[in-house]
Amino acid sequence: MPRRRMLTLRGTGALIAGTGCLVAANLLGAVVLLYLGILLFALTILAVIVVRAPRRSGTVTRQISTDLLTVSETSRVSLRFSLRALRVPRGLWRDVLPDAVSGDAAGEYPPETGQLSYLITGVRRGVWPIGPLLLRTVDPFGLAQREQEFGETRTVTVVPEVFTLSPLAVRVGAAGGTAQTSSSRLGQGSDNLSPRVYIPGDSMRRIHWRATAHRGQLMVRQEEEESSPDALVVLDRSAGRWSASGDQADPAFEAAVSLCASAAVHLMQEGYGVDVIDTTGALLGTLRGHEDDRDGLLVALALVTPRGEARDLASLVGGTPPGPLVYITGRLDEEDAALLRPAGAAAPLLFTTDPQPGAAKAAEPHGWRVATLGDDVAEAWEDALPERVGLTPAERRGAGDVSA
């Protein structure tokens, strides 16, 4: 952040004019020019003393109206600025904002409303600092200026944008139960305990007394493995799939992260238990219907960057195939697409931001529903839906009109 000079342009001009007057006075012997040069120097020095001498200190506290700021979302930042000084100065305040958020964080001080506030809009996901607060004051003649920092910085977390997606037509339990997945997690269903007859060796702590009284014989609780619809979202972060852009954001990777968040939240809202992982096997988030789960996933996705190498998808899925499987990747060629197997998932959806010739045809025989991910995340999702695969763009638009 560049520092402002002690003198304004007017002050610099006054010094130059004063110097010129002193030189002209010596050359021309004009006493008036000598007095004028001394006056300009004296005014400039006095202006610097008036602005720089007063001691000021203060504290700044910031409050952001939303805990997590979504890309393209607007939020209000309210500041409480406690300034300690001999007199209240008049000037301009400015809060330093990173490039990842936009907003008009400046105004006159002291404010007419008595409160400092401004609006910010998320531009790029990540965790970014806001601040410090800068107060710029100028002397009455406009010759000298002072810009002073107050308070510490505060971080704001910008999370990826979550889009509303169309319902997934294929549901767990379709195809005669072949899409059913099992889970031993307790508490997912309405009743995961059933009584059975006591067998010697069963723990007495598992006796089901109500069933024992009803049946007239000793019964124990048996934990049933309940049916729980699961979904898996995989974000391919392999460095080789994405363009290396340094500190600049890669639009394709940003779209992939946004689709990852949107798909996970959408599947959770459809009643699935959702696990979100990357292609190294690292768990990015787990959604089981709690708001904290959603926020935790969005925070994790706010920090992801392309890195590492991908593992085999079958090893990531494990022994129990999920219902819906959403795989999001970048550049995908025909050879890699042919090796990508959905590992028995009931509804495998494959999204690629840069499909190479033949990639889609190589993946589709394995059961993938392939779509190209561009700027419109919702449109890419619709293109991958089972009832829309194989349609031309005109037919897709027509199907959308009919459904609307």
pLDDT value at position 148? 93
- Ordered by start, the domain boundaries in the chain are 9-52, 57-159, 183-227, 230-403
Residues 65-82 have a mean pLDDT of: 93
Tell me what the pLDDT averaged over the chain comes to.
84
Does 7 or 209 have the greater pLDDT score? Answer: 7
pLDDT value at position 386? 66
pLDDT in tens, 217-265: 788 776 544 444 689 999 999 988 998 655 678 899 999 999 999 999 9
- In sequence order, which residues have a C-beta less than 8 Å from that of residue 242 and are 6 or more positions away? 250, 252, 253, 306, 330, 331
CATH number of 230-403: 3.40.50
pLDDT value at position 163? 96
Domains 57-159 and 230-403 agree in fold = no
pLDDT value at position 227? 43
Kindly tell me if the per-residue pLDDT of 372 is higher than 60. yes
pLDDT in tens, 320-367: 778 899 999 999 999 999 999 998 888 899 999 999 999 999 999 999
- Architecture category of domain 57-159 in CATH: Sandwich (2.60)
Least reliable range by pLDDT among 183-187, 199-203, 331-335: 183-187
pLDDT value at position 3? 65
How far is CA 36 from each of CA 32, 43, 45, 140, rounded to the nearest angstrom?
6, 11, 14, 19
Does 229 or 191 have the greater pLDDT score? Answer: 229
Residue % of the chain over a pLDDT of 70:
83
Residues 53-58 have a mean pLDDT of: 91
pLDDT in tens, 17-55: 999 999 999 998 889 999 999 999 999 999 999 999 999
pLDDT value at position 57? 93
Residues 390-395 have a mean pLDDT of: 43
Kindly tell me if the per-residue pLDDT of 157 is higher than 70. yes
pLDDT in tens, 106-115: 999 988 877 8
pLDDT tier for residue 190 given thresholds of 50, 70 and 90: very low
pLDDT tier for residue 170 given thresholds of 50, 70 and 90: low
Does 275 or 183 have the greater pLDDT score? Answer: 275
